[in-house]
C-alpha cells in the first residue's frame, strides 16, 4: 500500500534517536540492572491535590465533551499564571489548551508555516522539532550553538540566516538538551530582528519553572512581540504531569482562532476532568513544586561534582531544566558509540548528542530523573566507562 509523503517528512533522525531508550526499556523488562536516564520523565508523582481534583471531577460526571479551545476556567488560570510570570497582559481569549506542548508546537507550526517557508532554530534542538516543521513542508534552518558558548544562540548568527523565505524563529529557554537560559539582552536583540523582518517567534517555555539561577524572560512581553509570538508551555515538567497531556499556547487572538479550528479537527477538545485537575494545579499553593525544582538543582550539582575530576568527561552545568550535557570528546568515541557502550557494558541509558544535531556531537544528555543514590551510581558507571576508554587510548 502507498503512504503519503508526510510519513517521510516525520521520520528520520529524530525518530531514530529514541532507539537506545527503547533498547534500555527492553533490557529492563528482561530484569537487567539498567539506570534509565534517557528520557525527561520526572520520577516524582503528580501532587496529590491535582490527582484528587481529577477524581472529584470524574465523580461529578465530567466525562463529556469540553470546550474545544479549553474550558474557560482553565484558560483563565493559565492567563493569570502567564501574566504573573511574564508581565505580559493576556486574557483567556489568547489561550488555547492542547494535548501537551508537543501538540501545541505541531499546531502552531501548522497555522503559521507554509511549504517552502523557512524556520530558524537553534541547533542542537529537541529531537521532534525537525519532523514537526517538516510536516508543514517548511525547511528548518539551523543556527549552530556550541558548548564553548554555553549552548546559547547569538543574535548575530540568527541575523545571517534570515532570507526572504524566513517565516519564523523557534527557540526554547531553558534549552533542551543543554539547559541553557537566554539572558534579557539576547532576547531583546532577537525581538528586534523579529520585528524588523516581520517574523513569528515560537517560544517554547516548558522548562521555565525549572530555572535554578537567573531571570526567565518570556519574549512576548518585549516591545512589539505580543502580536507575533506564540508561547508554548505545559504542566508536564513543572508539575510532574507528563502523562496527563496538558499544554497550551498563548498567542494573539488571530492565531488563537486558527488554533481552535485545528483543535476541532484534531482533538475535539481535551478531557473535561483532566482540565479540572489542571485548574487545581495552577491555582493551588503546592509546596511540591518548589521541592521538585530544588531536587533537580541538587541533582545537577551532584552530577557536576561527581564528574568534575573524571578524565575524558566534562559536565556542562545547566541553568535549568532536568538534564546535564556531558562532553565526552576526549574519550575518542562518538557520542552514539559512547552511549551504546555505556548501556551495553555499564547499564546506563542516555541519549547521544547527535540526536539533537551535529553541534552536540561528542556530547551525551543525562536526565536528572532518579534520586541521589542511583544518580551517584550512574556517575560512577560513567566514570568507569570513561576510564576504560582513556586507558585503552593510552596503551593503543
CB 152 within 8 A of CB 180: yes
Residue 196, pLDDT score: 98
Q: What is the CATH number of the domain that holds 316?
A: 3.90.1150.10
Distances (CA, A) of 140 to 119, 165, 176, 299: 5, 11, 17, 34
Helix (H) or strand (E) holding 364: strand 363-367
Q: Based on the domain organization, do 114 and 169 belong to the same domain?
A: yes
**Count: domains in the chain:** 2
pTM: 0.94
Tens of pLDDT along 198-244? 999 999 999 999 999 999 999 999 999 999 999 999 999 999 999 99
Q: What is the CATH number of the domain that holds 141?
A: 3.40.640.10
Q: Domain boundary at 250, 267, 283, which?
A: 283
Q: Based on the domain organization, do 28 and 107 belong to the same domain?
A: no
Q: Which three cell numbers stand for residue 26?
A: 527492553
CB 62 within 8 A of CB 276: yes
Tens of pLDDT along 105-156? 999 999 999 999 999 999 999 989 999 999 999 999 999 998 888 999 999 9
Q: Based on the domain organization, do 230 and 351 belong to the same domain?
A: no
In a domain, 151, yes or no: yes
CA distance 264 to 233: 20
Q: Based on the domain organization, do 241 and 307 belong to the same domain?
A: no
Q: Based on the domain organization, do 251 and 148 belong to the same domain?
A: yes
Q: Based on the domain organization, do 271 and 296 belong to the same domain?
A: no
Q: Is 366 left (phi over 0), alpha (psi -120 to 50) or beta?
A: beta
Q: Domain boundary at 283, 298, 321, which?
A: 283
Length of the chain: 396
Span of 36-40, 71-75, 184-188, 364-368 with lowest mean pLDDT: 36-40
Helix (H) or strand (E) holding 202: strand 200-204
Tens of pLDDT along 294-349? 999 999 999 999 999 999 999 999 999 999 999 999 999 999 999 999 999 999 99
Owning domain of residue 234 = 61-283
Q: Based on the domain organization, do 161 and 130 belong to the same domain?
A: yes
Tens of pLDDT along 13-37? 666 778 999 999 999 999 999 999 9
In a domain, 56, yes or no: no
Tens of pLDDT along 62-103? 999 999 999 999 999 999 999 999 999 999 999 999 999 999
In a domain, 52, yes or no: no
CB 108 within 8 A of CB 252: no
Q: Based on the domain organization, do 315 and 271 belong to the same domain?
A: no
In a domain, 377, yes or no: yes
Paired sense of beta strands 348-349 and 35-36, if any: parallel
Q: Based on the domain organization, do 126 and 28 belong to the same domain?
A: no
Q: Based on the domain organization, do 155 and 257 belong to the same domain?
A: yes
Mean pLDDT of 29-57: 96
Band (pLDDT 50/70/90 cuts) for residue 12 is: low
Q: Based on the domain organization, do 220 and 296 belong to the same domain?
A: no
Nearest to 101 by CA among 214, 223, 233, 218: 233
In a domain, 1, yes or no: no
Q: Based on the domain organization, do 295 and 278 belong to the same domain?
A: no
Q: Domain boundary at 249, 283, 317, which?
A: 283
CA distance 200 to 170: 8
CA distance 320 to 318: 5
In a domain, 27, yes or no: yes
Amino acid at each position: 500500500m502507498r503512504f503519503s509523503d508526510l510519513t517521510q517528512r516525520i521520520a528520520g533522525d529524530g525518530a531514530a534517536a529514541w532507539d537506545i531508550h527503547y533498547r534500555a526499556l527492553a533490557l529492563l523488562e528482561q530484569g537487567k540492572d539498567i539506570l534509565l536516564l534517557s528520557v525527561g520523565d520526572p520520577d516524582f508523582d503528580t501532587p496529590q491535590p491535582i490527582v484528587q481534583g481529577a477524581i472529584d471531577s470524574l465523580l461529578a460526571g465530567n466525562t463529556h465533551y469540553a470546550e474545544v479551545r479549553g474550558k474557560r476556567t482553565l484558560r483563565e488560570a493559565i492567563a493569570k499564571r502567564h501574566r504573573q510570570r511574564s508581565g505580559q497582559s493576556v486574557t483567556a481569549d489568547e489561550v488555547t489548551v492542547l494535548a501537551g506542548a508537543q501538540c501545541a508546537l505541531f499546531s502552531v507550526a501548522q497555522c503559521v508555516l507554509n511549504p517552502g517557508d523557512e524556520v530558524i532554530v537553534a541547533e542542537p534542538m529537541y529531537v521532534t522539532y525537525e519532523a514537526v516543521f517538516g510536516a508543514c513542508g517548511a525547511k528548518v534552518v539551523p543556527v549552530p550553538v556550541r558548548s564553548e558558548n554555553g549552548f546559547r544562540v547569538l543574535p548575530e548568527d540568527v541575523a545571517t540566516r534570515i532570507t526572504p523565505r524566513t517565516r519564523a524563529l523557534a527557540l526554547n529557554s531553558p534549552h533542551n538538551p543543554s539547559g541553557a537560559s537566554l539572558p534579557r539582552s539576547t532576547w531583546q536583540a532577537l525581538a528586534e530582528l523579529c520585528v524588523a523582518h516581520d517574523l513569528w517567534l515560537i517560544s517554547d517555555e516548558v522548562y521555565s519553572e525549572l530555572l535554578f539561577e537567573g531571570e526567565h524572560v518570556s519574549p512576548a512581553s518585549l516591545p512589539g512581540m505580543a502580536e507575533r509570538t506564540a508561547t508554548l508551555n505545559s504542566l508536564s515538567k513543572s508539575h510532574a504531569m507528563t502523562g496527563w497531556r496538558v499544554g497550551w499556547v498563548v498567542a494573539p487572538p488571530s492565531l488563537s482562532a486558527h488554533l481552535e479550528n485545528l483543535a476541532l479537527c484534531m482533538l475535539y477538545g481535551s478531557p473535561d476532568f483532566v482540565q479540572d485537575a489542571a485548574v487545581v494545579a495552577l491555582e493551588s499553593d503546592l509546596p511540591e513544586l518548589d521541592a521538585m525544582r530544588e531536587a533537580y538543582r541538587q541533582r545537577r550539582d551532584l552530577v557536576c561534582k561527581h564528574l568534575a575530576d573524571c578524565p575524558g568527561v566534562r559536565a556542562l552545568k545547566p541553568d535549568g531544566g532536568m538534564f546535564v550535557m556531558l562532553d565526552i570528546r576526549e574519550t575518542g568515541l562518538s557520542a552514539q558509540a559512547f552511549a551504546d557502550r555505556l548501556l551495553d557494558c555499564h547499564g546506563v541509558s542516555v541519549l547521544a548528542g547527535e540526536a539533537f544535531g551535529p553541534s552536540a556531537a561528542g556530547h551525551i544528555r543525562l536526565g536528572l530523573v532518579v534520586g541521589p543514590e542511583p544518580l551517584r551510581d550512574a556517575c560512577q558507571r560513567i566514570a568507569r566507562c570513561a576510564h576504560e576508554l582513556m586507558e585503552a587510548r593510552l596503551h593503543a
